[in-house]
Structure 1
Amino acid sequence: MDQSSDAFAHGRRFEGRTAILTGGAKGIGRATALRFLAEGGRLAVIDMEPEDGDFAAALRRDAGDGGNRLLYVTGDATDEAQVRAAADTAEAGLGPADILINNVGFGANPRPIEDLGRDEWDRFLAINLTSAFLMTRAVLPGMRARRYGRIVNLASIAGRGISEISNLHYSTAKAAVIGFTRKLAFEEAANGVAVNAVAPGTVFTDRVRSRYEALDPADQAARMAAIPLGRAARPEEIAAAILFLASDDASYITGTTLDVNGGRLMN
């Protein structure tokens, strides 16, 4: 099977559309950014990585001609003032956002609750949950005014069931993302704004792959055996699900969390 991004070509569904994507320099966000640009959209990426750094340069390079429709903004999606400034910069550079993809997130290995400090708890909720709240609040008024919007939030299998390899605060935040998605979808349906989430299972981003390869071979085999499809996802496969929900192909879907986990969890 072709495992390159070329295997996911799907026309130009996003011609004339503008999106904001948080956390687009690496992993799932990067794969989503590249495919969105390949499908003709205009994209503002908001990420903590510097605009003149290696990750931003690689994103522009790999976007090819689509790089002309890419605006990279350095910003912290957990900081209200920076979110507002980044949203204003995106609109000034590319036009109003039709699509918001709240992708930024961060996980870690599990530890007992007594080993978790309040600062760490707050940080994980800010990165994985509050960032989606702040970005959504920044762009939603414009979507309402135009009576069109697509918001896609990144949840996780850790928020849908139990993930043995995620920590308590990450699992809690991702479960809350699903609740946030449902309630916002209910409130905004009358305004023409669809809100959905994607809940990946194990995805071999660079960071996750390094954690996996640090396990002994027996643990590695057990982790893959627990997935009916027998392997982890590629970031491009999660990007495909995100962009389906962001597109007009999903025009009658709202309030849904799409599980993309190789069968690891079936609801």
Structure 2
Amino acid sequence: MRDAYLARGHTLSDLGLQVPLAKSKLSELLRGLGHYPRWEIVSRLATLLGLPHSPLYRLWRQAALEAHKKREWVQRSTDNTTAVTTSPAAPPLDHRAFCELVQDDYLLYAQAFLVDDEACHNAVFDTFDILWLSWNDALASPDTRRHAWAVLRRTVMSRTPHIDGRPVFSQTAFDTVALTYLTDEEARARHLTETLALLRAMSWLPATQLDVITLRILWRMPIERVSELLGLAPALVRSNQRHAQHYLMSALYPPENEGTPS
């Protein structure tokens, strides 16, 4: 919303003529500060800024619940005068095609970090709504796929538990492809121990290396598909995987003369 405000060249005085908020409150809202806004205010701003209401309403509602607003408050904030603006609308055709193409794999990525199916679906479909709101920016970016992946990553990581700044993998990440083929209990226990150590080491990886390893190692995706999802050349995917694996090997199996890492 702030990007649309800056792009259109409006002033706070312009917005204040049609939105029942003081300029100071409008400034806070556009900077993500102050009290969580009612939908009535957000929908009026969306109209003035030319933003589609449907994805914005879903994002507003989800964020309100995450901000611990009661469902009654959410319902009251969507009064009869704005109900028509929340009715479904169709996103651009190329946006819909893109989302259909990546949805299943985006969900797999989210499952590595988020605790349940609902959280994964919310993160992925919030990503699609954010992309809808900024689709022109995505198309104008050097690579739409890379732009979209950055939105997905920010959305997922904002909802992922972190310890000392490092993401904590979901229990789902233990359900790797390799584990499904192990029937011996001792082998499964050994694999789980090794997986836990691997996930801890992976949490130290830089962002791109972490994403590549998550898709390549946990979900066994082909390099070509990882390249398509991340908007990286296959050679860059291989390079990131190689560097990540070198670090992981040194972290998991340090040379004896270097001692055990702390």
The TM-score, its normalising length taken from structure 2, stands at: 0.30
Greater radius of gyration (CA): 2
The TM-score, its normalising length taken from structure 1, stands at: 0.29
Q: Which has the higher strand share?
A: 1
